[in-house]
């Protein structure tokens, strides 16, 4: 029986170390089953509360603590698992009872001391347990600056997009606002920036999965709807103006849906890797035609009529619509236009920025 307890304890310790390394140290798209279980234990009650909120603001307040609480809960879960694993090894090696083993291991794990003086000297197991606690806590503390640095870089572009796409962002609104100020020729810079942004988010959000749960400071902003807006703007430009230089728009689109697919692989969300351009999408032609009318009314010139551009736009959107809608649903983000359904029924929030609010008359 003691041998069996020792084997189980060794597996618990090794499995926990594997979870710590795969979550905090290995900079590759890996995800521990133990980490997923801990995150779900945190996520489910917060999502239960958010499902009872009927406004985007309420949902945002309910779900904002999820990521921070999950990080703290991971640390607590790892330390408890290591405590139990080392206690099982103590029972197997030293002959202690359960309570004595828990006391001996707990004191060694957390304070580098000893619970009693019955031992003649330090054992290898005591040294391992004593070193484990500071190592795990130190790795978690060192993990936070990297995490928040990636979050800050992500949110900088999301915030800047507000002046170009509204809040919440919407793809056609990008074209409309560039058309209003006569800067449609400078959209290449926007697409180039978001190509780089997609590459950075793909790397950071697959290495540190919890980043996807970090919400923007404001409820009307979110990284997934911002990326969707930029991709929709690029797809509309490609479809409506095939005669313009399109390299940057194409690269931004491919980087965008490549980013979504990389994150979906880590989340284990299935998707069609090579969809047919003729496959139907959830966005309707009527919505597309109304958006074309909106952008042209604001000064954006087009070469093709909506019915001519629609097949090309649909052929691009089929590459990213499903995953964008799925992430927007799972993360329960602000219901921006063209971003799909949510867990609970909410009205679509139209994009608004201070530019839309006309100042009062003055002298």
pLDDT digits (tens, 9 = 90+) for 258-280: 999 999 999 999 999 989 888 89
- pLDDT for 121 beyond 60: no
Rounded distance between C-alpha atoms, residue 40 and residue 34, angstroms: 10
Q: Is 219 or 135 the better-scoring residue by pLDDT?
A: 219
Rounded distance between C-alpha atoms, residue 63 and residue 214, angstroms: 9
pLDDT bracket for residue 142 (50, 70, 90): confident
Please report the pLDDT score of residue 172 as a whole number.
95
- pLDDT for 115 beyond 60: no
Please report the pLDDT score of residue 113 as a whole number.
59
Average pLDDT for 188-217: 93
Among 244, 264, 240, which Cα is nearest to 316's? 240
Rounded distance between C-alpha atoms, residue 309 and residue 181, angstroms: 24
Rounded distance between C-alpha atoms, residue 290 and residue 148, angstroms: 39
For residue 195, CA distances in Å to 53, 192, 205, 232, 317 come to 35, 5, 15, 14, 17
Average pLDDT for 169-190: 89
- pLDDT for 240 beyond 70: yes
Please report the pLDDT score of residue 120 as a whole number.
43
Among 133-137, 231-235, 262-266, whose mean pLDDT is lowest? 133-137
Percent of the chain scored above 90 by pLDDT? 54
pTM score:
0.87
Q: Is 113 or 122 the better-scoring residue by pLDDT?
A: 113
pLDDT per position as a tens digit, 192-205: 999 999 999 999 99
Query: Domain coordinates of the chain in residue numbers?
Result: 2-140, 149-351
């Amino acid at each position: 029986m003691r041998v069996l307890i020792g084997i189980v304890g060794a597996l618990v310790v090794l499995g926990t170390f594997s979870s710590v390394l795969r979550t905090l140290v290995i900079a590759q798209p890996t995800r521990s089953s133990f980490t997923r279980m801990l995150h779900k234990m945190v996520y489910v009650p917060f999502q239960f509360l958010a499902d009872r909120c009927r406004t985007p603001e309420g949902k945002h307040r309910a779900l904002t603590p999820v990521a921070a609480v999950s990080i703290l809960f991971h640390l607590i879960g790892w330390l408890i698992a290591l405590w139990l694993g080392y206690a099982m090894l103590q029972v197997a090696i030293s002959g202690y009872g359960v309570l004595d083993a828990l006391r001996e291991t707990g004191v060694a794990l957390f304070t580098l001391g000893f619970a009693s003086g019955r031992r003649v000297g330090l054992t290898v197991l005591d040294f391992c347990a004593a070193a484990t606690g500071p190592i795990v806590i130190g790795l978690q503390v060192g993990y936070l600056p990297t995490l928040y640095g990636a979050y800050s870089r992500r949110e900088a572009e999301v915030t800047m997009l507000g002046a170009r796409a509204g809040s919440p962002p919407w793809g056609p609104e990008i074209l409309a606002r560039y058309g209003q100020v006569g800067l449609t020729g400078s959209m290449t810079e926007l697409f180039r920036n978001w190509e780089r942004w997609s590459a950075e988010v793909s790397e950071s959000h697959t290495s540190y999965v919890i980043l996807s749960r970090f919400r923007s400071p404001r409820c009307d902003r979110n990284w997934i709807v911002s990326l969707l807006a930029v991709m929709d703007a690029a797809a509309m430009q490609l479809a409506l103006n095939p005669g313009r230089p399109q390299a940057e728009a194409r690269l931004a689109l491919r980087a965008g849906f490549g980013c979504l697919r990389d994150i979906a692989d880590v989340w284990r969300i299935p998707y069609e890797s090579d969809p047919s351009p003729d496959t139907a999408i959830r966005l309707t032609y009527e919505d597309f035609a109304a958006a074309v009318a909106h952008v042209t009314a604001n000064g954006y010139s087009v070469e093709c009529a909506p019915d001519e551009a629609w097949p090309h736009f649909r052929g691009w959107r089929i590459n990213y619509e499903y995953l964008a809608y799925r992430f927007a649903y799972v993360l329960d983000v602000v219901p921006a236009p063209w971003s799909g359904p949510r867990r609970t029924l909410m009205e679509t929030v139209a994009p608004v920025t201070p530019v839309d609010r006309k100042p009062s008359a003055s002298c």
